[in-house]
């Protein structure tokens, strides 16, 4: 009788311990509230600043980071120009923290690469150091427009040694400065952009084509490159739609997951209704990858 009572007591005590332990673990789990921090520094440079939106109920295990990178021909531009994109993607919920990112601008004395890809590397290292404070993970997506698209691809395809980049969203980014869509163009604006690139780098394509290979994303794609989604305008005078087609073909050949969308009547950027279509396609891409 005594042995039976002790066995019964042990079972009851074990059940109580399990229930109490589960209850305690549940009570100890912190529910993080939505937060936003503006103009935070990731370096000592005046332009090394970022805004970050941290979603409610985020976690180190499940919350990835979407980094928005502005354009401006590598020599101008500011994160404020893409605040509308940053604000739109705040609705992704606990799966994504959203960042609006500034980088050091280039000039005739300092080439964009590696100056700006180094800023991306520095910033990602900063976020990895802050993962516990922000309660976010260390998987990153880059969303770049124009020069920002070019920098996103260059970093993701060539400079991401640690393989931190999970995906790239490229909006009208140049992919191959050596392609005939640039070198044999009859469009004055397209030719002017290519000329400006050569002046900025103090190198001509004719004299140093290998240098332009080194700064053209398409030449750095491997079978391990991040999944990529790209958007181009069919009437873009600065970045011809063929730049997207070249990229798409190269990614396909190496069996890298990718999508290409061209809006036939749009130029170097667009508004309603196509911008909403772009956002929805990006959202689907983020959820799939």
Quick: pLDDT tens for 229-256.
999 999 999 999 999 999 999 999 999 9
pLDDT on residue 19 = 45
Q: Calculate mean pLDDT across residues 64-73.
A: 98
pLDDT on residue 25 = 47
Strand partners, 199: none
- First-last CA distance in the chain: 62
Q: Calculate mean pLDDT across residues 200-209.
A: 96
- Residues 51 and 41: their CA atoms lie apart, in Å, by 9
**Tokens representing 26?**
């549940």
pLDDT on residue 289 = 84
Q: Are 50 and 101 in contact (CB under 8 A)?
A: yes
Q: Calculate mean pLDDT across residues 80-105.
A: 96
Task: Determine what percent of the chain falls in helix, strand and coil, rounding each to the nearest 5.
Answer: 45, 20, 35
Sheet holding 165-171, edge to edge: 35-41, 49-54, 96-101, 64-69, 140-145, 165-171, 227-233, 258-263
pLDDT on residue 223 = 98
Instruction: Say if residue 287's pLDDT is above 80.
Output: yes
% pLDDT > 90, the chain? 89
Instruction: Give the strand pairing for 64-69 and 35-41.
Output: unpaired
Instruction: Say if residue 4's pLDDT is above 70.
Output: no
Q: How confident is the model at residue 29 (pLDDT cuts 50, 70, 90)?
A: low
pLDDT on residue 78 = 98
Instruction: Say if residue 96's pLDDT is above 50.
Output: yes
Q: Would you mind telling me the total number of residues written for the chain in this entry? A: 289
Q: What is the mean pLDDT of the chain?
A: 92
Q: What SS3 class is residue 106?
A: coil
| Residue located via tokens 């990006």 | 282
Q: How confident is the model at residue 171 (pLDDT cuts 50, 70, 90)?
A: very high
Greatest pairwise CA separation for the chain in angstroms:
100
Strand partners, 41: 49
> Of 41, 45, 63, which Cα lies nearest the Cα of 54?
63
- Residues 93 and 166: their CA atoms lie apart, in Å, by 18
- Residues 144 and 151: their CA atoms lie apart, in Å, by 7
pLDDT on residue 30 = 76
**Tokens representing 151?**
């920098």
pLDDT on residue 124 = 98
pLDDT on residue 28 = 61
Alpha-helix runs per DSSP H in 109-267: 112-129, 131-134, 147-154, 180-183, 188-201, 209-214, 242-253
Q: How confident is the model at residue 86 (pLDDT cuts 50, 70, 90)?
A: very high
Q: Calculate mean pLDDT across residues 251-271.
A: 97
Q: What SS3 class is residue 282?
A: helix
Instruction: Say if residue 14's pLDDT is above 70.
Output: no
Strand partners, 98: 53, 66
Residues 126-166 have pLDDT tens digits of 999 999 999 999 999 999 999 999 999 999 999 999 999 99
């Amino acid at each position: 009788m005594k042995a039976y009572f002790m066995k019964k007591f042990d079972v009851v005590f074990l059940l109580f311990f399990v229930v109490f332990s589960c209850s305690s673990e549940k009570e100890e789990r912190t529910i993080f509230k939505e937060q936003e921090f503006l103009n935070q520094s990731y370096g000592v440079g005046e332009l090394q600043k970022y805004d970050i939106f941290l979603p409610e109920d985020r976690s180190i295990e499940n919350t990835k980071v979407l980094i928005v990178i502005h354009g401006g021909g590598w020599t101008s531009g500011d994160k404020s120009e893409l605040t509308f994109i940053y604000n739109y993607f705040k609705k992704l919920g606990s799966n994504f923290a959203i960042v609006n990112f500034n980088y050091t601008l280039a000039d005739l004395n300092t080439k964009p690469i590696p100056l700006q890809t180094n800023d991306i590397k520095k910033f990602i290292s900063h976020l990895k150091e802050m993962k516990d404070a922000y309660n976010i993970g260390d998987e990153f997506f880059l969303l770049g427009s124009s020069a920002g698209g070019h920098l996103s691809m260059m970093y993701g395809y060539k400079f991401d040694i640690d393989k931190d980049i999970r995906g790239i969203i490229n909006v009208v980014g140049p992919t191959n400065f050596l392609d005939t869509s640039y070198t044999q163009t009859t469009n004055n604006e397209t030719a002017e952009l290519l000329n400006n690139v050569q002046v900025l780098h103090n190198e001509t394509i004719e004299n140093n084509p290998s240098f332009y290979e080194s700064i053209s994303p398409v030449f750095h794609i491997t079978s391990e490159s991040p999944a990529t989604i790209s958007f181009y305008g069919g009437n873009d005078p600065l970045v011809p739609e063929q730049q997207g087609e070249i990229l798409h073909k190269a990614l396909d050949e190496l069996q890298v997951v990718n999508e290409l969308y061209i809006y036939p009547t749009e130029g170097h950027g667009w508004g309603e209704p196509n911008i909403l279509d772009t956002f929805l396609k990006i959202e689907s891409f983020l959820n799939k990858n």
